[in-house]
Amino acid sequence: MQRAGEDALVELGITDMHPELVDLLGRLRYRTSYGQNVLRHLVESAHIAGMMASELRIDPGLLRRCTVLHDIGKALTHEVEGSHALIGAEIARRYGETDDVVHAIEAHHNEVEVRTVEAVLTRPRTRSAAAGRRPAGVA
């Protein structure tokens, strides 16, 4: 599982992440959500987020990091009670991620008030719109 996480990070150009987070990312290779492989979703979303960040002249590395970790809590939802966003934020905090990354994770489903540009851009509806797709339930 560690290898799948490492491969995802190499593809995104992210070189410094706690080994426990890398392992959790690798676990997501074997999870699906709404019919999509979760790890693939994270990598694709992080690529889109990096492009959006470049267009907006904000740090693409930070936004890719926020986005690749936004569903990290899904690796633990069968072991820990609670929302994957809040679980993921706590895990990211525990393993040394910055406040900006932690906030983007916890806010991506509006469970806490969004207060940074990175958190707005990490939200699924924002990325879907940028990729030219309509979010589910939007006509």
**Residue pLDDT tens, the chain, 139 long:** 689 999 999 999 999 999 999 999 999 999 998 888 999 999 999 999 999 999 999 999 999 999 999 999 999 988 999 999 999 999 999 999 999 999 999 999 989 999 999 999 998 765 555 555 544 443 3
Cβ–Cβ < 8 Å for 96, 65? no
- pTM of the complete model beyond 0.85: yes
Residue whose entry in the numeric block shows the structure tokens 């990490």: 122
Q: Which residues of 90-120 are buried (b: 16+ CB within 10 A; e: fewer)?
A: bbbbebebeebbbbbbbbbeeeeebebbbbe
Per-residue pLDDT, 134: 44
**Nearest Cα to 48, choosing from 105, 101, 122?**
122
Per-residue pLDDT, 78: 86
Q: Please report, for residues 15, 17, 57, 102, the alpha-carbon distance to residue 98 in angstroms, rounded to integers and kept in the order given.
A: 15, 11, 20, 6
CA distance 75 to 42: 12
Per-residue pLDDT, 139: 35
